[in-house]
Amino acid sequence: MTALDTLIHGLYGMTAESDWRAARERALELLRIHSHAQSAAWITTSEGGAGPFTESVHSGFTKTQLSSFKFTTAQPVQVVAVPGGVVHVIRYNHSSRHLVSVVALRWSDAVPVPEAAILTSAVAHLAESSALAQKLFVQRDEWLLHMGRSNRGAAALVDSAGTAHAGTDRFRKILEARRFQTNQLPFTLPDLGNDSHAALVYEGLHVRIERMDGLFLVHLRQPLPFDILSPREQQIARALGAGKTFKSVAKQCEISISTVANHATRIYRKLGIFRREELVELIRAPGAAPATAITPKPGRVKKLG
């Protein structure tokens, strides 16, 4: 097995990491060690979208610097002389076609630099193994669904421009059913400010967003029967569906038993059901657990707070 084969084997082994971010960091470090480079940095972007940036200790590079390099199809590698060494910057167009990775590796003058063909091949496998790690990360929701467990919806990792770096089949099918692009969010991501999470409703789709190291984890789901319930009604519906009595629900919610009964009547009427067994069936349906969603603000894109 050649040194490149060993590296490739190690890179794809990283995809078993439970978190794509840890897999990305370890993969870049593995590339740096195998190529005997002093430091390394790596950014993955789409057209107009900022993506994840990963670097070794004291890489000496920034997101802006890596994004500013210009390449041609015939020349995907740039060599830059620096004090005491040399830097190779390699661009790779992902197999997904809409993503690009740029990797910079720095060597001292005393260390031989690997051949350009070996470097470009190594960077290609670095990028594709990372894409696989992201795919496996978002795929967890699909596995939960097949195991009969409810989940938060179809998942994808998207960048600041809303371009998907990885997504599940259900995520693409939800967008396709509404005639949207399957690798692009149909709306602009909201400004999260200092928050790490957000929720909104777009064209009837319920959306959950979580900031995640240069990307955003997005969950989409179709409207559910429970979405028509108020937050308090959803809370009581969950409790009743779990088999709790009116008395225990009243104690939990700090309201009277008669108020619980009134809520239950409205819940049944809104959902068009007549028995608690029907409520239990609705709650246990895959992906149908009542959301803790709050009344959305007016507008086409509605935030949930």
CATH of the domain at 74: 3.30.450.40
Distance in angstroms between the alpha carbons of the first and the last residue of the chain: 55
* Alpha helices for 194-272 (secondary structure H): 231-241, 246-253, 257-271
Q: List Cβ neighbours of 26 (8 Å cut-off, separation of 6 or more).
A: 14, 17
Q: Does residue 291 form part of some domain?
A: no
Which is more confidently placed, 167 or 284?
167
Task: Give the mean pLDDT of the chain.
Answer: 87
Q: Does residue 294 form part of some domain?
A: no
Q: Does residue 289 form part of some domain?
A: no
| DSSP element (H, E) containing 29 | helix 20-34
CATH of the domain at 253: 1.10.10.10
Residues 74 and 181 in one domain: no
β-strands 85-93, 77-82 pairing: antiparallel
Residues 193 and 212 in one domain: yes
> At which of 204, 223, 242 does a domain end?
223
Residues 266 and 181 in one domain: no
**pLDDT at position 175, please?**
93
Residues 99 and 152 in one domain: no
Q: Does residue 165 form part of some domain?
A: yes
Q: Which residues pair with 200 in a beta bridge?
A: 207, 303
Q: How confident is the model at residue 214 (pLDDT cuts 50, 70, 90)?
A: very high
Q: What pLDDT digit, counting tens, does each position of 257-278 carry?
A: 999 999 999 989 888 888 888 8
Contact 24, 11 (CB under 8 A): no
Q: Does residue 40 form part of some domain?
A: yes
Q: Does residue 123 form part of some domain?
A: yes
Q: How confident is the model at residue 83 (pLDDT cuts 50, 70, 90)?
A: very high
Residues 9 and 133 in one domain: yes
Residues 18 and 133 in one domain: yes
Q: Give one DSSP letter per residue of 57-98, joined into a string.
A: TT----HHHHHH----SS--EEEEEETTEEEEEEEEE-TTSS
Contact 24, 132 (CB under 8 A): no
| Amino acid of residue 133 | A
Residue from 119, 120, 91 nearest 107 by CA: 119
Whether the pLDDT of residue 292 is over 70: the answer is no
Number of domains in the chain: 3
Residues 111 and 72 in one domain: yes
Q: How confident is the model at residue 165 (pLDDT cuts 50, 70, 90)?
A: very high
Range of the domain at 275: 225-284
What does pTM read for this prediction?
0.76
Residues 172 and 273 in one domain: no
Which is more confidently placed, 289 or 153?
153
Q: Does residue 217 form part of some domain?
A: yes
> At which of 119, 137, 155 does a domain end?
137
Whether the pLDDT of residue 301 is over 90: the answer is no
Q: List Cβ neighbours of 137 (8 Å cut-off, separation of 6 or more).
A: 19, 20, 157, 166
3-state secondary structure 146-212: HCCCCCCCEEEEECCCCEEEEECHHHHHHHHHCCCCCCECCCCCCCCCCCCEEEEEECCEEEEEEEE
Contact 41, 66 (CB under 8 A): yes
Residues 122 and 231 in one domain: no
Coil/strand/helix, residue 143: helix
Q: Which residues pair with 55 in a beta bridge?
A: 41
Residues 181 and 205 in one domain: yes
Question: Cα separation of 303 and 295, whole Å?
Answer: 9
Residue 13, CA distances (Å) to 9, 30, 39, 134 in order: 6, 11, 22, 13
Residues 152 and 54 in one domain: no
CATH of the domain at 181: 3.30.450.20
With a pLDDT cut of 90, the percent of the chain lying above it is 57
**pLDDT at position 241, please?**
86
Q: What pLDDT digit, counting tens, does each position of 141-150 carry?
A: 777 666 555 5
| DSSP element (H, E) containing 52 | none
By CB atoms closer than 10 A (0-12, 13-18, 19+), residue 301 is: middle
Residues 194 and 234 in one domain: no
Q: Does residue 299 form part of some domain?
A: no
Angle between helices 116-138 and 20-34 (to 10 degrees): 170
Kindly report the number of other CB atoms within 10 A of residue 281's CB atom. 13
Whether the pLDDT of residue 202 is over 50: the answer is yes
Kindly report the number of other CB atoms within 10 A of residue 49's CB atom. 20
Q: What pLDDT digit, counting tens, does each position of 217-250 carry?
A: 999 987 777 777 888 888 898 888 888 999 999 9
**pLDDT at position 242, please?**
86
